[in-house]
Structure 1
Amino acid sequence: MCGIIGFTGILDAKEVLTEGLKELEYRGYDSAGISFFGENKILTIKSEGKVACLCEKVKAADTEEATCGIGHTRWATHGGVSDTNSHPHTFGQVTLIHNGIIENYKELEEELAKKGKYPVSQTDSEIAAMVIDDYYVGNPVKALKSAIKKLQGAYAFCIMFADQPEVIYAIRNGSPLVATSTVEGSIIASDMVALIKYSKDYFVLPEHHIARLTKDEIIVTNMEHQVVTPPMLHVNWDVAAARKGGYEYFMLKEIHEQPEALRNTIAPRIVNGLPDFSEEGISDELLRNTKRIVITACGTAMHAGLVGRILIEKLTRIPVSVEIASEFRYANPILDENTLVITISQSGETADTLAALRLAKENGSMTLSIVNVKGSSIARESDFVLYTHAGPEIAVASTKAYTVQLSALYLFAFRFAFVKEKISQQKAQEYITLLEDTIDTVAYVLSYDTQIEAISQRLKSADDLFFIGRGLDYALSCEGSIKLKEITYIHSEAYAAGELKHGTISLITDNVPVIALATQADVYAKTISNVREVRSRGAKVILITNADVQVDASLCDHHIMLPPMEAEFTPFAAAVVLQYIAYYTAVARELNVDQPRNLAKSVTVE
């Protein structure tokens, strides 16, 4: 989820670009770079690290003033964090910045190699630049139209051609681009946050349309060469709010970023319809030799592990345990060379999880970490790393990091089961298709916001609240409960629904809210009987089910029905519902959603 910006006009382009990248840095801060027309050619300055490192390099370069250029701040997906892998990328006549993932870059790289053309970086983005250059014979639009027929995946490109001074071309598919033209010039970026300093009026570049930016105007054409005038939009945010992309809170923004984050995490690891970890060096031999798995993590990451355990055991029949990282190192755990220890952490710096990782290595176990931050301590010390590509997560309450952790665990489970010959290749491919389908399902569930906001008004005065569910629903209940208590300060607990009669039901009194998840067909009837038990004792029930069940209206006060999907994949959609419940309840209680009391984003002490 990188940040990109392009400017051509009468201002100092280097200043416009670097200032814009500072605003866009939340989208990625592994490296940054700019390219600009100067000294009768395109010059590029880029640097590993934050935008501040780039700014120092730009200042030291002391190049002549430029009025046209493009800039990029990177969240690495393909290739490690380095100056070489930083954007912009130049090949031949083409200089390009990219947000997204080119899914077929390996195949394209092989085709280009046959022509004697080789990249210098490890990125999919440079391959895109090479493909465009391969078609370029002086007509940028023609080259772009030919190139995008070969490029598969999501992308937003801003491109400069060496023989087209002071002009920027842009095109997108999936990844966002917004643009505006003012008396000072034309500017385009991945987020309005970089534009608002210059104008509050903007347009969204339509997908599969080409924008040509000059200092005087932006001309947009479709694939039939027809000029299109996208509708202009207006914002009334201040700069601080714009950094949230117009959302009131980062948490809401990050809830809405989940489809893109899921796509960025899943897509690079699909080869021929199968999960593939060759880029991560995770061999099938390692999986074949694994006799037992221990998942260790804290908080939300541990709850992702609970879902992963159920799925991995179901598909592989290999024993999996989930351990709280803060307890793991003090429990004298049983570990050996046939045990794979999976650690999960958004930041990659969680102290307890790092300690658990080190203990596992001391005891001879192989370690695999699922983390979101390149170069973090856990990533550096693990034998293998599955990076999630959620982009920076700023709100303390984790949302998109949780769902991408789930997606990484699902990919791992499918590959593990396939290698262990517990599922066929066809079945593995079917699972992958269903996993990819969850991206659109999650996007659809984002439209539930109005319904859930209304429900949350009924929860804002609660002192206690309970989540119940069975199987995957219980694992998800744990996450829903922590999310609610984190930001609303309502006392909340999650229980396996069958355990209610073993003490917990004594806490159910008139008007106590109970959120019941009943999405698993094999235990649906059992869960519904537990719902009737709390209902008969006066509970206010919010029932979450799949679309394929009939629900007695007297059974609940509110019924949230998920879109049709296979039961194994409901955690993705249901997670969004539970995130919304927590978010809108916190808003109704007039609390600071992004910065709840006593909590920090990354826990780096025990």
Structure 2
Amino acid sequence: MCGIVGGVSKTDLVPMILEGLQRLEYRGYDSAGLAILGADADLLRVRSVGRVAELTAAVVERGLQGQVGIGHTRWATHGGVAECNAHPMISHEQIAVVHNGIIENFHALRAHLEAAGYTFTSETDTEVIAHLVHHYRQTAPDLFAATRRAVGDLRGAYAIAVISSGDPETVCVARMGCPLLLGVADDGHYFASDVAALLPVTRRVLYLEDGDVAMLQRQTLRITDQAGASRQREEHWSQLSAAAVDLGPYRHFMQKEIHEQPRAVADTLEGALNSQLDLTDLWGDGAAAMFRDVDRVLFLASGTSHYATLVGRQWVESIVGIPAQAELGHEYRYRDSIPDPRQLVVTLSQSGETLDTFEALRRAKDLGHTRTLAICNVAESAIPRASALRFLTRAGPEIGVASTKAFTTQLAALYLLALSLAKAQGHLNDVQQADHLDALRQLPGSVQHALNLEPQIQGWAARFASKDHALFLGRGLHYPIALEGALKLKEISYIHAEAYPAGELKHGPLALVDRDMPVVVIAPNDRLLEKLAANMQEVHARGGELYVFADSDSHFNASEGVHVMRLPRHAGLLSPIVHAIPVQLLAYHAALVKGTDVDRPRNLAKSVTVE
């Protein structure tokens, strides 16, 4: 992985590919490249380690032009960060391939191809695809047939695009487990791993399904399965605006997305507030009947989304009164679990293409779970399409690798889920519903209030930037926010950070505390506050420096070694959403001081489509 773009056009395609790659930079990458069929159908390739800007300079220097081409930004999996491992991969100067995903059987395929006389110049799994297509093209009638035969040999996850000097008017693409969509325009056909890359040329898009293979020519588009049987995919008009993926007045996309949270949360809640929690309107046909009989909830997610489910689990048990558990998708998939036909399986993914989560959903369905619900930010992605019910968080595009508004809108959606389950099961009367909805109406304002603390948080961040380690503490509903704060800090500032339930401190982590170990405490004014205060005393007594995010109605006072910042009044069960804001800002400003690449932190990718 991480991003692919290209197509067939009646005009020079090079500017479109380069702009598309720039729009895919947010996904994270370490090298980039493109291949073009020139005027004489010569296959021309340029690759570079580093940013798309460096690739652009090399392409301009060579004066590349062509109407058929493919481009790629790579996040290293097989093979290190080196030009020889950058895509596109070429076979015999005739076939060029770009690829997102992982080919699990590439060792066996490589051995077979080497025995057949093919020479490998990279360490990647992608190079086997190029050689396979070349091998089958020797006997296949065209590139489309050769591509279908080649993908039939592949095991794993992939989105690929192929061009050939022997088929100068064609691009072939295929998808299995990784996102890929097609663009339709008057001047040609295009493809990309993200609709943002296609906005400069078209808004008319088709989403490929697993197993699809497509042939793109300037005036022709054909989609089949691997056997060649025709497949039809519905055309959509993308609602994504160019402004939504532009930086605007902000320094970084992460900063922009942090400040978009009041609107994103309000937009996510709008349907529930307007419909007075109408279950069909929120969750889809059949939701009321499905929710009525649910006897437990299983949440499946990864990364930041998993931390959201740790909060959601507690909301379900508190509000609905049924058991709930939250599991990492990549762990659930490979363990023995006991099916419960009345269990609701809820998956969370910002992109809707997270492979760990998608495969966990597939595993749950294989075990007989039919009550599935996806909470996602991308309507036409794989996980919602594979689920019986879906809820779209209205966060808008999230470009920064470190998730911010996707996290808080997922939390908002999980709160609505808990209320909806309680309503369906008769545990939410009219007065309680009105109280909860009123609290939700006030939530965007509380989020904005927390954002207004940014100047003070900048001061804290300046002190954090010189540290090598940090601890985050929370209790109950706020322990997952401590986890999220630690994750954000290490993701973008590269400061090592860990999070613990505060009561666990005395069982080992307290050994780490000294004056060089800052301790961040999520301290809302809830029923665990006194217990949390005792845990803070344990830190203070050992010389640790405390940074406390408290509520305005709590009674913490700053003192030597104890820094206190006050958020709005305690927001009750919704407090985790409000307390997520300051830990995001702390990580962001610490990274600014350290000078790291905030939107594209090293070694990370936005859309994780490999295991």
Q: Hey, which bits of structure 1, 4+ residues long, moved more than 6 A?
A: 20-27, 29-34, 81-87
Aligned to 1:410: 415
Q: Where in structure 2 are the equivalents of 1:578-597 lying within 5 Å?
A: 578-597=583-602
Give the Cα–Cα distance (whole angstroms) in 2 for the partners of residues 399 and 341 of structure 1.
24
Give the Cα–Cα distance (whole angstroms) in 2 for the partners of residues 257 and 26 of structure 1.
20
1:336 CA drift (Å): 2.1
Give the Cα–Cα distance (whole angstroms) in 1 for the partners of residues 437 and 468 of structure 2.
42
Aligned to 1:267: 270
Q: Could you give the per-residue CA deviations for residues 129-183 of structure 1, whole angstroms, max 9, x where no partner exists?
A: xxxxxxxxxxxxxxxxxxxxxxxxxxxxxxxxxxxxxxxxxxxxxxxxxxxxxxx
Task: Kindly indicate whether the alpha-carbon contact (under 8 Å) linking 2:524 and 2:570 is maintained by their aligned counterparts in 1.
Answer: no
Aligned to 1:491: 496
- Code of the residue aligned with 1:300 in structure 2: it is T
Q: Could you give the per-residue CA deviations for residues 354-380 of structure 1, whole angstroms, max 9, x where no partner exists?
A: 110001111111211111112111111
Task: Kindly indicate whether the alpha-carbon contact (under 8 Å) linking 2:372 and 2:388 is maintained by their aligned counterparts in 1.
Answer: yes
Task: Kindly indicate whether the alpha-carbon contact (under 8 Å) linking 2:422 and 2:428 is maintained by their aligned counterparts in 1.
Answer: yes
Distance 1:312 1:520, change over 3 A: farther
Aligned to 1:568: 573
Matched, 1:299 2:303: yes
Q: Where in structure 2 are the equivalents of 1:521-560 lying within 5 Å?
A: 521-554=526-559, 556-560=561-565
SS at match of 1:286: helix
Matched, 1:316 2:326: no
1:510 CA drift (Å): 2.0
SS at match of 1:521: coil
Aligned to 2:604: 599
List alignment gaps of at least 5 residues for structure 2: 1-18, 27-179, 186-196, 206-217, 220-232
- Code of the residue aligned with 2:512 in structure 1: it is L
Give the Cα–Cα distance (whole angstroms) in 1 for the partners of residues 418 and 356 of structure 2.
25
Q: Which residue of 258, 262, 287 corresponds with 2:291?
A: 287
1:428 CA drift (Å): 1.4
Q: Which residue of 484, 506, 524 corresponds with 1:501?
A: 506
Distance 1:282 1:443, change over 3 A: farther
SS at match of 2:451: helix
1:22 CA drift (Å): 13
1:567 CA drift (Å): 2.1
Q: Could you give the per-residue CA deviations for residues 59-101 of structure 1, whole angstroms, max 9, x where no partner exists?
A: x99xxxxxxxxxxxxxxxxxxx9768767xxxxxxxxxxx9xx
Matched, 1:344 2:493: no
Give the Cα–Cα distance (whole angstroms) in 2 for the partners of residues 533 and 331 of structure 1.
38
Give the Cα–Cα distance (whole angstroms) in 1 for the partners of residues 314 and 604 of structure 2.
29
Distance 1:275 1:547, change over 3 A: farther
Q: Where in structure 2 are the equivalents of 1:14-33 lying within 5 Å?
A: none
Give the Cα–Cα distance (whole angstroms) in 2 for the partners of residues 426 and 275 of structure 1.
16
List alignment gaps of at least 5 residues for structure 1: 1-19, 35-47, 62-80, 88-98, 100-189, 195-241
Give the Cα–Cα distance (whole angstroms) in 2 for the partners of residues 518 and 398 of structure 1.
22
SS at match of 1:274: coil
Matched, 1:432 2:437: yes
- Code of the residue aligned with 1:307 in structure 2: it is V
Select the structure with the greater relative contact order (CA < 8 A; seq sep ≥ 6): 2
Task: Kindly indicate whether the alpha-carbon contact (under 8 Å) linking 1:465 and 1:514 is maintained by their aligned counterparts in 2.
Answer: yes
Distance 1:376 1:506, change over 3 A: same
Give the Cα–Cα distance (whole angstroms) in 2 for the partners of residues 351 and 21 of structure 1.
23
Give the Cα–Cα distance (whole angstroms) in 2 for the partners of residues 428 and 555 of structure 1.
44
Distance 1:520 1:416, change over 3 A: farther
1:276 CA drift (Å): 3.4
Matched, 1:258 2:261: yes
Task: Kindly indicate whether the alpha-carbon contact (under 8 Å) linking 1:510 and 1:538 is maintained by their aligned counterparts in 2.
Answer: yes
Aligned to 2:391: 386
Aligned to 1:238: none
Give the Cα–Cα distance (whole angstroms) in 2 for the partners of residues 538 and 270 of structure 1.
48
Aligned to 2:54: none
Q: What is the percentage of aligned positions where both structures have the same residue? A: 38
1:500 CA drift (Å): 0.8
- Code of the residue aligned with 1:578 in structure 2: it is V
1:562 CA drift (Å): 1.0
Give the Cα–Cα distance (whole angstroms) in 2 for the partners of residues 329 and 262 of structure 1.
31
1:448 CA drift (Å): 1.1
Aligned to 1:102: none
Distance 1:82 1:439, change over 3 A: farther
- Code of the residue aligned with 1:261 in structure 2: it is A
How many residue pairs match? The answer is: 405
SS at match of 1:558: strand
Q: Could you give the per-residue CA deviations for residues 245-273 of structure 1, whole angstroms, max 9, x where no partner exists?
A: 11111000000111121122110233443
Give the Cα–Cα distance (whole angstroms) in 1 for the partners of residues 551 and 296 of structure 2.
32
1:533 CA drift (Å): 0.5
Give the Cα–Cα distance (whole angstroms) in 2 for the partners of residues 555 and 588 of structure 1.
24
Q: Which residue of 388, 402, 407 corresponds with 1:397?
A: 402
1:274 CA drift (Å): 2.5
- Code of the residue aligned with 1:317 in structure 2: it is G
- Code of the residue aligned with 2:347 in structure 1: it is T
SS at match of 1:553: coil
Aligned to 2:467: 462
1:566 CA drift (Å): 2.5
SS at match of 2:527: helix
Give the Cα–Cα distance (whole angstroms) in 1 for the partners of residues 24 and 609 of structure 2.
22
Aligned to 1:91: none
Distance 1:26 1:278, change over 3 A: farther
1:560 CA drift (Å): 1.3
Give the Cα–Cα distance (whole angstroms) in 1 for the partners of residues 24 and 515 of structure 2.
49
Give the Cα–Cα distance (whole angstroms) in 2 for the partners of residues 528 and 378 of structure 1.
42
SS at match of 1:270: helix
Distance 1:532 1:568, change over 3 A: same
Give the Cα–Cα distance (whole angstroms) in 1 for the partners of residues 203 and 555 of structure 2.
58
Task: Kindly indicate whether the alpha-carbon contact (under 8 Å) linking 2:250 and 2:256 is maintained by their aligned counterparts in 1.
Answer: yes
Aligned to 2:250: 247
Distance 1:451 1:82, change over 3 A: farther
Task: Kindly indicate whether the alpha-carbon contact (under 8 Å) linking 1:255 and 1:399 is maintained by their aligned counterparts in 2.
Answer: yes
Aligned to 2:201: 52
**Structure 2 length as normaliser, TM-score?**
0.61
- Code of the residue aligned with 1:260 in structure 2: it is R
RMSD, matched Cα: 3.3
SS at match of 1:410: helix
